[in-house]
Amino acid sequence: MIKNVDAVRIIDEHRGEAVIVTTMGAGNQSFGLPAVTHRQELDLPVAGAMGKASSVALGLALAVPDRKVFVLDGDGSLVMNLGTLTTISNMAPENLYHFVFENGVYAVTGGQPIPAAGKLSFQGMAMEAGYAASFEFDDTEELATNIDSVLKEKGPVLVCLRTAPEIENTPVQFREKTSRTMRMAIEEVSTAVRA
């Protein structure tokens, strides 16, 4: 199993000029994006619509085809928006890299299992949907060793990361919030990618 922060750190180290779009849990202060990455002006946390980070990333990838776009998705988020696999496959953005953090649970709501946890294969579904390539890693060292070659593939690429659940069980209104709102992130990322 891979720890969330280790996976994000490895992805961030190899991002170059890539925009990183993240799903809900990735905005968590203790184990998510703000604690790890070093190019905040290119980080776009999507907190506003459940499961839609990959759709935002698709739109951005289509808008800026010369820049890589990474989406850090959750398995619970992806199964809420499973049609995104075929929508992405159909548009076939070569610059889109879809990382799915598969921990088998809804980590931000207390750890309830997602439907078909342990039965489904995101790597398999991506390939059957028509992604250009897909990978699966359950070991931090293996991810670190192979990420360069993963990012040399033309997208859309799905990378399934088997991660250890890190359960959040505090009601949303009581959680520590980042000082950088989504509107601020949109403004910063928008400026950066248009420069």
Partner 1 sequence: MERVAVLHPSSIIAELKRNNFTHVVWLPDSETNFMYHQLTADPDVTLVPVCREGETMAIAAGLWVGGKKPVALIQNTGIFESGDSIRGLGLDVNQPLVMLVGYRGWDKHGITTDSAARFIEHILHAWGINYYLVETDEHAPRISMAAEEAERTSKPVAVLIGTEFGA
User: Which residues are at the interface with partner 1 (CB under 8 A)?
Assistant: 21, 44, 46-50, 52-53, 55-64, 81, 83-84, 86-87, 90-91, 182-183, 186, 189-190, 193-194
Write down the least CB distance from residue 146 to partner 1, Å: 27
- Give which of 162, 77, 88 is closest to 129, Cα–Cα: 88
Furthest-apart CA atoms within the chain: distance in Å? 44
Cα three-residue angle 87-91-95, rounded to 5 degrees? 110
Which CB sits closer to partner 1, 57 or 105? 57
Which CB sits closer to partner 1, 143 or 185? 185
Which CB sits closer to partner 1, 63 or 164? 63
Amino acid at 104: G
Point out which residues pair with 99 in neighbouring strands: 72, 159
Q: In sequence order, what E strands does the chain have?
A: 19-22, 43-45, 69-74, 96-102, 105-106, 112-113, 133-137, 157-162
CA distance 106 to 158: 20
Write down the least CB distance from residue 120 to partner 1, Å: 17
Write down the least CB distance from residue 55 to partner 1, Å: 3
Which CB sits closer to partner 1, 87 or 170? 87
Write down the least CB distance from residue 145 to partner 1, Å: 31
Tokens of 120: 């489904």
Write down the least CB distance from residue 106 to partner 1, Å: 16
Which CB sits closer to partner 1, 55 or 163? 55
